[in-house]
Chains A and B, each alone.
Chain A
Amino acid sequence: MEDALGITVPDNARIIRNLISGIQYVQDHVIHFYHLHALDWVDITSALGADPGETAKLAQSISSWPKSSAVYFKAVQDRLKRFVESGQLGLFANGYWGHPAYKLPPAANLMAVAHYLEALDWQREVIKIHAILGSKNPHPQTYLVGGMSIPLDPNSAAALNADKLALQRQLLVTAKAFVDQVYVPDVLAIAPFYKEWAGLGAGAGNYLAYGDFPIDTSGDPARLWLPRGVILNRDLSRVHPMDQRQITEQVTHSWYEYSDGDGRARHPWDGETNPKYTGPKPPYEFLETDKKYTWLKAPRYNGLPMEVGPLARMLVAYASGHAGVKAGVDGVLKALGVGPAALSSTLGRIAARAIETQLTAAELLTWHDQLVANMKRGDLKIHNGAKWDPATWPKEAQGWGFHEAPRGALGHWVRIKDGAIVNYQCVVPSTWNASPRDAQGQRGPYEASLLSTPVVDPNKPVEILRTVHSFDPCMACAVHVTGSAREPITRIQVV
């Protein structure tokens, strides 16, 4: 909308948007690592047999985090034992425990379980920043076309005031401490046991980043903290400029039809969403993968499949010479004893996400200080309402909104006519990454990344989960309903 109507948001709105998105990265990436991904690498049952003294030694050797005594880890282990003895594993019920692909020693498994539990408490605290700036989480409520709707006033109880800013700073410090002292050291401690995964899961090899976190209100794409660009064929010597007009979506293998033929590649401004399910009637054994087989369209940039997400962002920033990213990436590569080529992998995605989290956790404090400085100067402007009234709009307009969501490049395209939306198309991060094949038969990034993945036991395909989870899939937020009879939630079919 702001792009379509040429609206510039006030500096305070820019900063608050950066803060809301930035803390989202930090919370989301930590949740992804511990709660959505770690159990592909950490064997909970092995933690039961760990010596808490060994775990304490390990924890103290990698970090100054205070919760690291043998007594503490013994208490965590006892808690875990009670879980297991109760027969109600809850969060830990569904795993391939004991699979030979798990390589961590028991002491490291226990440390990871302890941090899994700590991260649950931590994430609930740090996301209170969304309550402060956005009134709630998820789905902050204070966005407005033209800025934000949260009032700024250091002295008002009903506004973002000095007290709330003090709480916000404290939460940002809490967020950064856990990232620096727990998350990043854990990634570096676990990764060496799984180095083969730096050579697996490469994927499309093309990376797309819209860039995000404006440094000022100029709207200049060169003034973004995380830069914009495209990398092709893993060639880090060149960052290509990103032109959104090169983005199209195809439906050759998707359950949609286009009015002028399914072979077309449509730019989102001319996009169509006409659902037409032609797959097998459930329950079915397998999809008809030579025909249409998914509800996702196939987005392409200049006709090519693209990976988006933390790895794409870090590679584009690294290859663009971003000082902070360069230092972060080089530090991790050195710690693991690998070169930049290893980043295009399952392990590379995990490392890139950790590097991004650490940089963002630090940058958040800078944005916070900018907001405080503006307010101290008496700048309390939060919204530009010059074009709020539809009477000020042209008869027709079109715009493109971009954002780097935690999971990657997110674009929304809108066409407006007579004050109403005539077309709106969202191309979201997981549509890029989980894309099906296109008209040329090119695989999407998940599909390409799985080729050559080892599968020791087809009935327990933990290796496939490792690579798919490394992308942090987000198909659509949903409520999952399962039966009460405790049947297996996921069905693995081997034919």
Chain B
Amino acid sequence: MPKIAIDPITRIEGHLRIEAQVDGGRVAEAWSSSTMFRGMELVLKGRDPRDAWLFAQRI
């Protein structure tokens, strides 16, 4: 039962990894992983809430 990992998935925005267990030519189990931390929530703490949109927009 081969296990495969595709990393990164291309033609998307950002970083995504898929691991899959293949059994008899079909996916038997799959895991989705984002391999990059974003942390916008920490950037915004303590700031003027009127500025939040300008930061959050960058997500």
Contacts and interface: CB of A to CB of B under 8 A. Distances in A.
B19 A446 contact: no
A145 interface: yes
B20 A295 contact: no
Tell me whether chain B's interface is mostly helix, strand or loop, or mixed: mixed
A298 to B, nearest CB: 11
A416 interface: yes
Nearest to B3: A495
Which of A293, A388, A435 has the most C-beta atoms of chain B within 10 angstroms of its own C-beta?
Answer: A293
Contacts of B37: 255, 275, 277, 295
B39 A275 contact: yes
Given A273-B39, A425-B41, A490-B7, A1 B52 contact: yes
Contacts of B28: 451
B5 A145 contact: no
Interface residues of A, number: 76
Contact of B47 (A420, A436, A465): A420
Contact of B46 (A294, A388, A421, A494): A421
B57 to A, nearest CB: 5
A420 B47 CA distance: 5
A34 to B, nearest CB: 11
Interface stretch (A56-64, A316-324, A471-479): A471-479
Nearest to A271: B41
Tell me whether chain A's interface is mostly helix, strand or loop, or mixed: loop
A285 interface: yes
A451 B4 CA distance: 14
A477 B49 contact: no
A490 B8 contact: yes
A9 to B, nearest CB: 13
A489 interface: yes
A468 interface: yes
Contact of B4 (A294, A434, A493): A493
A6 interface: no
A1 B14 contact: no
A287 B58 contact: no
B50 A455 contact: no
Nearest to B30: A450
Given A420-B46, A426-B41, A476-B59, A491 B16 contact: no
5 contacts: A145-B50, A451-B30, A473-B14, A478-B13, A490-B9
